[in-house]
């Protein structure tokens, strides 16, 4: 029975590690890019909603007439095309619906805070 040398074992193990690395690194890199993309989109959604919230304090107009709301609508339309993150899309839809119905101020503020917290958790990880 013939035994392989240590050098042969090292060569085989290094080839196996190279194959694993060639497969794993692109997957890891893609996950990092996806997370960064979701992070940027969540930050932008958050900033737009904050802007609308500030504009609502200073305006007597309905939210649909605010330029900041129009920007949010445009962003959310783009978000549905570009993002495959279901949670972010759901949050943006809930925020939009919340602005459109704005009935009870206390309920509106509480729900908006909850959605803000969910957005913050998406980009603070």
DSSP 22: H
pLDDT value, residue 125: 57
pLDDT score of 110 more than 70: yes
pLDDT digits (tens, 9 = 90+) for 61-96: 788 888 999 999 999 988 888 888 888 899 999 999
CA atoms of 79 and 90, how far apart (whole Å): 11
User: Does residue 104 sit in helix, strand or coil?
Assistant: coil
What is the rounded average pLDDT of the residues 36-42? 86
Non-local (6+) Cβ contacts of 82 within 8 A are 41
In this predicted structure, the answer to whether residue 98 has a pLDDT above a threshold of 90 is no
Helices marked H in the chain — which ranges?
6-58, 67-82, 86-101, 105-124
Query: Residues 6 or more apart from 3 whose CB is under 8 A from it?
Result: none
Q: Tell me, what's the pLDDT at 25?
A: 92
1-6's contacts with Cβ under 8 Å and 24+ in sequence apart are none
pTM: 0.71
* Separation of alpha carbons 92 and 26, rounded Å: 30
Q: Residue 59 in contact with residue 66, Cβ under 8 Å?
A: yes
């Amino acid at each position: 029975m013939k035994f392989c040398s240590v050098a042969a074992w090292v060569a085989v193990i290094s080839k196996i590690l190279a194959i694993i690395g060639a497969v794993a690194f692109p997957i890891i890199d893609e996950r990092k890019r996806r997370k960064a993309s979701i992070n940027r989109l969540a930050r932008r959604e958050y900033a737009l909603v904050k802007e609308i919230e500030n504009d609502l304090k200073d305006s007597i107009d309905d939210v649909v007439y605010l330029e900041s709301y129009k920007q949010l609508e445009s962003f959310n339309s783009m978000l549905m095309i570009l993002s495959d993150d279901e949670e972010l899309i759901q949050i943006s839809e809930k925020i939009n619906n919340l602005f459109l119905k704005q009935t009870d101020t206390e309920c509106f503020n509480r729900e908006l805070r909850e959605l803000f917290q969910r957005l913050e958790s998406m980009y603070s990880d």
